[in-house]
Every structure is written in C-alpha cells, then in structure tokens.
Amino acid sequence: MRSRVQRAVLILVLAVTILPAQARLGETEAQSIARYGPAVGTYDADTSGYPYRTLTFAHAGYTIVAQFMGSACEMICFQKADGSAFTPDELDLLLKAQAEGQAWSRSNLVSADVIFDRPDGAMARYDTAKHALLFCSAKYVHATDAQRKADEKKQLESL
C-alpha cells in the first residue's frame, strides 16, 4: 500500500514539473513564445544547418527546440537542462501529452533509441545517448524522408 502511495506522489510531482515543459506540435511561433517565453535562439530556414525555421527555448529546466514548417510547429525536441535521462514515468507523461487522442505504440524498428509511432504517421524518438525526446508530425516525417531520398539520389547520380 505504501509503495502505491509513493508512486502516486511521484507521478503527481512529475506531472507538476513536466507539464509546463510539454512540447506542442501544431502550435504557431506566437503560441510557443507565449508558452515558453522569448526564444534564446532563432534560426531561419536553410541557415546553420536547420532545414526549417527553428526556435530554441530555455524553460522550466528544459531546453526545447521547435521547428516550424509554414506557420505550424512540426518537430519539437526537448532535453533536461542538466542532460539527465528521462524516467519511464516522465516519458509516459510526455507521450500522453502528445497523443492528440491517439495511442503511441512502440516501433518494431531495431535501434539503440526507443521509437514510438502513432496511427496518423507521427513519430517520437527517445535518443538514449543524448537523453533527448523528439516528436515529429507526419508532415515532418514525410518531408524529411523525401529530402533524404532526394539527397541520396543526387549523391548516386554524381558517381
């Protein structure tokens, strides 16, 4: 009984500390700035190695990187500012926050990272080395896949 109470308290504490840092796919830049405060870094598309407009925030103990395709955030990644790993409960809370009414399922892909898929084509990846949790909309997944294929084709044609 006591461990159940301790777990409930831990989940409540995690929810209170993580919820302010939750990323939101689909938000506009203005909504993201309202949520996290002024960006500490701003990069226009095709500069500094970023394919899309990118804003970086430091908020509530997290570093949050959001990429915008058009007016909407289509990729968001966050790490704890101290670089520590997310606990299973933290990952679960963050996945639920990004579910948009759909269930995440663990991918069958073989990887050192933990990958999750959503029925709409969105994906999440927890980088186990960098302790970074990345969420990508289906639009972002398709765009980056198309760009990767175009780059591979160009490379092969140059041979």
CA 68: distance to chain centroid?
13
**Residues 13-68 pLDDT 10s:** 333 344 444 547 899 999 999 999 999 999 988 876 778 999 999 998 999 999 99
- Provide the pLDDT for residue 22: 52
| C-alpha to C-alpha distance for 126 and 120, rounded to whole angstroms | 19
User: What is the spatial distance between Cα 131 and Cα 48, in angstroms, rounded to a whole number?
Assistant: 23
Please determine, for residue 12, whether its predicted confidence score (pLDDT) is greater than 80. no
Compute CA distances 63 → 36, 77, 82, 83, whole Å: 10, 8, 9, 9
Residue 8 pLDDT exceeds 90: no
According to the model, what pLDDT value does residue 51 have? 83
pTM above 0.85, yes or no: no
Q: Is the pLDDT of residue 7 over 70?
A: no
The pLDDT tens digits for 92-147 are 988 998 888 899 999 988 888 999 999 999 999 999 999 999 999 999 999 888 88
What is the side-by-side strand order in the sheet with 72-80?
41-43, 53-59, 62-69, 72-80, 132-136, 123-127, 114-117, 105-106
Token pair 């407009």: residue: 53
Q: What is the 3-state secondary structure (H, E, C) of 86-98?
A: CCHHHHHHHHHHC
- List beta partners, residue 67: 54, 75
